[in-house]
Amino acid sequence: MADSIMSKAATMEIPINSNGDTGTLPEDDSLEQVSQLYWHLDLQQVMVSGPNLNETSIVSGGYGGPAGGIIPTSSIKGPAIRFNPEYLDRRRAPAAGPGSTSNHSAVNSTEEVSRGVAVEKLEGVKKWGINTYKCTKQMFSERFGRGSRTVDLELEAQIDVLRDTKIKYENILRLATALTMHFQSMVQTQQALGDTFTDLSQKSPELQDEFGYNAETQKLLCKNGEALLGAINFFVSGINTLVNKTMEDTLMTIKLYENARLEFDAYRSDLEEMSLGQRDAAAMVRIEMAQHDYQVHREKYERLRSDVTIKLKFLEENKVKVMHKQLLLFHNAISAYFAGNQQQLEQTLIQFNVKLKPPGSDKPSWLEEQ
C-alpha cells in the first residue's frame, strides 16, 4: 500500500496559472494518506532508507510553464519518507526456531554420509574394473602364448589327480545309486510275491505246503534284501559325502587359488612393463603403487597355495579312511547276502553301525498326505 501511495504522490498533477506561477496547493488526499501512514506505522523500521519525496520532481499537466512544467517538490510541505525493502523481506521470512540450527547440521551430516558412501562405491567399482581388465589381459596373453604364468608343478599334478579321482568317484556314486534303485525294486517284488504265496496257501488246501514254503523263502529273501539295501544306502551316503562335500570344498579352494594366481601374474606383468619404461617422477609414483599391489596379490597367492596344499593332504587321508570302511562294508554285505548267510549279514551291519529303517518309514504319514 505504501508503494502505491508514494507512486501516486510522485506523479500527481499540480495546477499552474497562466503566467506559469504555481497557485495555492489544494489539500491532496494522497499526501494526507501518506502522512497518516507515517504516523500510524512503525516507520522506524519501514522507512529507514529509500527515495525521499523532497528530492523528486513533479511533472505538470499544463503547457507553457517554466522549465517544461517541472516543479521541485521542495515547495510541498510534508514529512520526509524513506522506504526500506529489507523490512518486508524480514516480515515474509519465518522466524528461526531454536531447533533450526540443529536441523541444518543434521541435514548437512546426512548429506556428507551419503556423499561418502557414494564415493566409496565409486572407488570400489573403479578398482574392480581395473582388476578385471588386468586379469582379462593376462588370461588372453597366456592363452595365445604371449605372457608367462607362475606354475607349481607338484601342486598342479596333485590338483589334476584330484579332478580325475573326483570324476571316477562320481561314476561309482552313479552306479551304486542305480544298484540301490534296482535292488529296492527287486525287494519290493519279492515282498509282493511272498504275500501272494501266503494268500494262495490259505485258499488252495491241496498246494498249501508248497505255497507256504515259497512264501517263507521270499519273506526271508526280502528281509535279507532290506539288510543289504541298508548297507548299500550307507555306502552311497558315504561316497556322496566324500564327493559332493569334501572334494567339492577342496576344489572351491583350488578355484580361489587359481584366481589368485591369475591376479598375481597380471600385476606382476604390469609391474615388469612399468619397470622397463621411463623413470620420471610420475612414473616412479606409478611404479611404487604397482609394487604395493603386486605385494598384496603375492601374499594372497601364497596364502591360498598353502591352504590348497593342506586341504589336499587332509583330503587324501580322509579319502583313504572313508573308502577303506565303505569298501569293506560293501564287500562283506554283498558276500553274506548272496551266500545266504543271514547271521554274517547282520554282524556286518552291527560292525559298521548301520541302522536299518523300519518297514514303511519311507512312506508319508496320513497327516502328511492330508
CATH code of the domain in which 141 resides: 1.20.1270.60
The verdict on residue 126 lying in a domain is yes
Please give the pLDDT value at position 23. 46
Q: Are 215 and 197 in contact (CB under 8 A)?
A: yes
- pLDDT-derived band at 279, boundaries 50, 70, 90: confident
* Better pLDDT: 192 or 113: 192
In the chain, which ranges are continuous DSSP H helix?
A: 2-10, 29-40, 43-46, 85-92, 100-143, 153-203, 208-241, 248-275, 281-338, 342-351, 366-369
Q: State phi, psi for 275 to the nearest 5 degrees.
A: -65, -25
Mean pLDDT of 138-158: 85
The verdict on residue 9 lying in a domain is no
Amino acid at the residue 315: L
Residue 287 has pLDDT above 80, yes or no: yes
Q: Are 229 and 141 in contact (CB under 8 A)?
A: no
Q: To the nearest whole percent, how much of the chain has pLDDT over 90?
A: 33
User: Residue 296 in 3-state DSSP?
Assistant: helix
Q: For 167-211, how does the pLDDT look when each residue is reduced to its tens digit (9 = 90+)?
A: 999 999 999 999 999 999 999 999 999 999 999 888 888 888 888
The verdict on residue 205 lying in a domain is yes
Q: For 63-88, how does the pLDDT look when each residue is reduced to its tens digit (9 = 90+)?
A: 344 444 444 444 444 444 444 544 44
Domains identified in the chain, total number: 1
- Domain of residue 100 covers 29-368
The verdict on residue 5 lying in a domain is no
- pLDDT-derived band at 364, boundaries 50, 70, 90: low
Please give the pLDDT value at position 307. 95
Mean pLDDT of 122-135: 81
Mean pLDDT of 259-285: 85
Please give the pLDDT value at position 170. 95
- pLDDT-derived band at 358, boundaries 50, 70, 90: low
The verdict on residue 260 lying in a domain is yes
The verdict on residue 11 lying in a domain is no
The verdict on residue 39 lying in a domain is yes
- Distance from the Cα of residue 95 to its chain's centroid: 45
Global pTM value: 0.60
Please give the pLDDT value at position 310. 95
CA–CA dist 176, 228 (Å, integer): 13
Please give the pLDDT value at position 68. 42
Amino acid at the residue 36: Q
The set of cell numbers assigned to 38 is 507515517
Q: Cα separations (Å) of 62 from 16, 68, 76?
A: 7, 9, 18
The verdict on residue 17 lying in a domain is no
Residue 19 has pLDDT above 80, yes or no: no
